[in-house]
Amino acid sequence: MTGLKGKTAIITGASRSKGIGAAICRSLAESGADIFFTHWSPFDGESGNGEEPEFPEVFKKELQSFGVRAAHMEADLSRDDAPQMVIAKTEEMLGAPSILINNATYESHADFKTLNREILDKHYRVNNSGTILLSVEFAKKFEAAFPESKDGRIIHMVSKGPDPNNLAYIATKGMLIGITEPLSVALAPVGITVNAVDPGPTDTGWMNEEIKNHLLPLFPAGRLGLPEDAAKLIKFLVSSDGGWITGQTIKSEGGFTGK
């Protein structure tokens, strides 16, 4: 598999050392890509994952130890100006990006009795509006900066399943699955592939022992999913070897048998 030296990758939602976003950053940096990551610590505190206020600067130095450039910014994708700000800051600090990993997400449990417009809108603004408009801004910048290139990459991190207590999250992630194929067709002439990756249940620190014991029998490989599992697939998809794969939603969940 070819390396990523000379490429700049944006990874959104890298706020915690054990998260999928951080694993993706490490994997791409190891392959030579310069890394621009965004974070939004208030959500980690609100969601119960725990804030790591020193993480961004410490993590930047960790990524630089791979011999690549790294930079970061705090970004609330629910803000209307966030997509333009992320692209502009990336270009200012590292140059025009050619890889975008839409990992940032908003999640708040809601069943049919508690779901309301406010909860749905919070999910929509981050998981759909912010993410899709960031993808569009990225594509426009890529087209202008790399008119002859065919190595642009967009990847959406998605989810699915019949969880009745997580209606807004699954609905909005379903919209990302839905837009992946038509966006891939729109951006193929520009030289950008668009895919979605579903990592399944992943042990990023949020699972207690009860949850682990419930999920483990549903993994036929005999272990839980790890952040590095999704990161390895993404490293392949953004490489030149993954250039003929587009418009796909790919499960990277070890044969998970749960629903």
- The C-alpha atoms of residue 201 and residue 218 are separated, in whole angstroms, by 10
- The C-alpha atoms of residue 15 and residue 224 are separated, in whole angstroms, by 22
Residue 197: how many CB atoms within 10 A of its CB?
Answer: 26
Q: Could you give the angle at the alpha carbon of 187 between the alpha carbons of 185 and 191, nearest 5°?
A: 120
- Helix 20-30 × helix 55-64 angle, to 10°: 20
Question: What are the contacts of 81-86 at 24+ separation with CB within 8 A?
Answer: 82/130, 82/134, 83/130, 83/133, 83/134, 83/136, 83/137, 84/137, 86/10, 86/12, 86/38, 86/134, 86/137
Rounded to 5 degrees, what are φ and ψ at 66?
-80, 0
* Catalytically annotated residue among 169, 172, 195, 235: 169
The residue with tokens 């406010």 is: 118
Give the strands of the sheet with 34-39, arranged side by side. Answer: 70-74, 34-39, 8-11, 99-102, 152-157, 192-198, 249-251
Q: Is 59 helix (H, G, I), strand (E, B) or coil?
A: helix
Look up 169 and say whether it is catalytic. Answer: yes
Residue 170: how many CB atoms within 10 A of its CB?
Answer: 18
Q: Which residues are catalytic?
A: 169
